Amino acid sequence: MNFFQLTITTFLNKDIPFNESGEFIGNIISSTMLLKDTLKEIHEKKEFKYVYDNFYPLEKSKVYEKGRIYVFNIRSFNSGFIRDIKRFLSLTKNNDFKIVAVEERRIKQRFITELYTKTAAIVTVDSKPWLLKDGDLMLLQKRFQDNLEKKFKDIYGEAIGIKQSFIQRVDVINKKPISFKYKNIHLLGNKFKITINEDEKSQQLAFIALGMGLGEKGSSVGAGFCHANYL
């Protein structure tokens, strides 16, 4: 198993508040996908496509500043998608930003001990965001698991057939929910550290989380983008 990552260097021509930056980056990617028929077809399909993170470095003011350069990443298991996005990103016309550079790398599966979310993960329960104050951690784990099993099936065309949770332990590491602005509403998420079980199928699901994000809205606001600790 492996996935592909693009690292994009971007020059901003306007200030972007932190809670609006996920949607801003998502719009950059969506605009790029309208420039080529194969990308447009992917854009219109209801399937798991990619995940991205937020601008780096993070500003203390929580506003990404006009006239500065920032970096963000896109990940996908679809090599054709990555190839075409890499080619067409610099052709996307927008007065608010300029693409300076795009670098590609392949990331191979390794043994993962822990996942931790770089961007907050979003989980919805009964049309409401999962929140720690009244949340069920076992239900949270099940939602993560179900979501990743669907992503695995989208990518490989078959069910993974796992019979137990891939999670050994989950910790919420933020003190209060983190807000994403999306289509004039606010989505709430949390940051997590997850200890992964050692068996093969648990490791496969952990790698799916690394390459496609943990939870929901990974290709809408960049939620659930993960980093890993390896053995």
Give pLDDT, residue 46: 78
Domains of the chain: residue spans and CATH: 2-108 (3.30.70.1890), 112-230 (3.30.70.1900)
In one-letter notation, the amino acid at residue 149 is E
Q: Please give the Cα distance from 218 to 73 (Å, whole number).
A: 12
Q: Which of 210, 129, 106, 215 is nearest to 177 (CA)?
A: 129
Q: Quick one: tokens of 81?
A: 């998608």
Q: Which of 124, 129, 112 is nearest to 194 (CA)?
A: 112
E-assigned strands of 83-214? 97-108, 112-117, 124-125, 128-129, 167-172, 178-182, 185-189, 192-196
Residues 56, 86, 47, 2, CA torsion sign:
negative
- pLDDT per position in the chain (231 positions), as tens? 999 999 999 999 999 999 999 999 999 999 999 999 989 988 888 778 899 999 999 999 999 999 999 999 999 999 999 999 999 998 888 899 999 999 999 999 999 999 999 999 999 998 888 987 767 899 999 999 999 999 999 999 999 999 999 999 999 999 899 999 999 899 999 999 999 999 999 999 999 999 999 999 999 999 999 999 999
Q: Which residue has the tokens 């990940």?
A: 75
